[in-house]
A = this chain, B = another copy of it.
Amino acid sequence: MPKKIAVLAGDGIGPEIVAEAIKVLSFINTDMNLGLVFENALIGGAAYDAFGTPLPQTTLNLCKNADAVLLGAVGGPKWEPLAHAVRPERGLLGIRSELNLFSNLRPAILYPQLVDASTLKPEVVSGLDIMIVRELTGGIYFGQPRGVHVAENGEKVGINTKIYSESEIRRIAHSAFKIAQKRHKKLCSVDKANVLEVTELWRSVMTEVGKEYPDVQLSHMYVDNAAMQLVRAPKQFDVIVTSNMFGDILSDIAAMLTGSIGMLPSASLDANAKGMYEPIHGSAPDIAGQGIANPLATILSVAMMLRYTFNQPEAAERIERAVNTALDSKVRTADIYSEGMIKVSTSGMGDAVLNAL
Q: Chain A residues in contact with chain B, CB under 8 A?
A: 75, 84, 87, 89, 93, 119-121, 124, 140-141, 143, 146-148, 151, 155-167, 192, 194-202, 223-225, 227-228, 231-233, 245-246, 248-253, 255-257, 261, 282
Contact = CB atoms under 8 A, between A and B. Distances in A.
A357 to B, nearest CB: 31
B147 A197 contact: yes
Contact of A252 (B167, B227, B261): B227
B163 A162 contact: no
A253 to B, nearest CB: 5
Contacts of A194: 75, 87, 89
Contacts of A167: 155
Contacts of A148: 197-198, 200-201
Contacts of A256: 227-228, 231-232
11 contacts: A119-B231, A119-B232, A120-B231, A155-B166, A158-B201, A160-B196, A160-B197, A224-B252, A227-B250, A227-B253, A253-B253
A157 B147 contact: no
A157 B163 CA distance: 7
A156 B124 contact: no
B161 A161 contact: yes
Nearest to A122: B121
B199 A158 contact: yes
A198 B257 contact: no
Contacts of A253: 227-228, 231, 253
Given A155-B165, A158-B163, 13 more contacts: A84-B197, A141-B195, A147-B197, A148-B198, A151-B165, A158-B165, A158-B197, A159-B162, A161-B162, A162-B162, A192-B248, A223-B249, A228-B252
Contacts of A251: 224
